[in-house]
Amino acid sequence: MNKQLNRFATIIWLALVILTIGTLLLGEEVTAGKTVMLSVLAISLIKGQLIANYFMGLRHVSWLWRGIILGYFVIVGGMIAIAYLN
């Protein structure tokens, strides 16, 4: 069981590394615009959820706490998007 859990954590970690490299490459685009910014924010939301669920252990708690964290990510990302688009 422990080997399986370690393997799963490694897969999640690798996914986070790949997503981080993807956001780096997207963010360095010369023609960066609204689409790139929204893509980077969406990937950051996915990364935040992966970290919260698997490394903070929130996948085992009630939907209330998971919703609070998701709401935080959406509100902060939305405020960044609004600030960038204005």
Question: What pTM did the predictor assign?
Answer: 0.82
Can you give the residue ranges of every domain in the chain? 2-85
Can you give the pLDDT at residue 29?
74
Q: What is the pLDDT of residues 47-56, one digit of tens each?
A: 999 999 988 8
- Look at residue 85 and tell me whether its pLDDT is greater than 80: yes
List of long-range contacts for 41-48, beta carbons under 8 Å, 24+ apart: 41/77, 41/80, 41/81, 43/19, 44/73, 44/77, 45/73, 45/74, 45/77, 46/19, 47/16, 47/19, 47/20, 47/23, 48/73
Tell which wins on pLDDT, 3 or 29: 3
Statement: residue 71 has pLDDT above 90:
yes
pLDDT of 76 above 80: yes
8-48 tens-digit pLDDT: 889 999 999 999 999 998 888 767 788 888 888 999 999 99
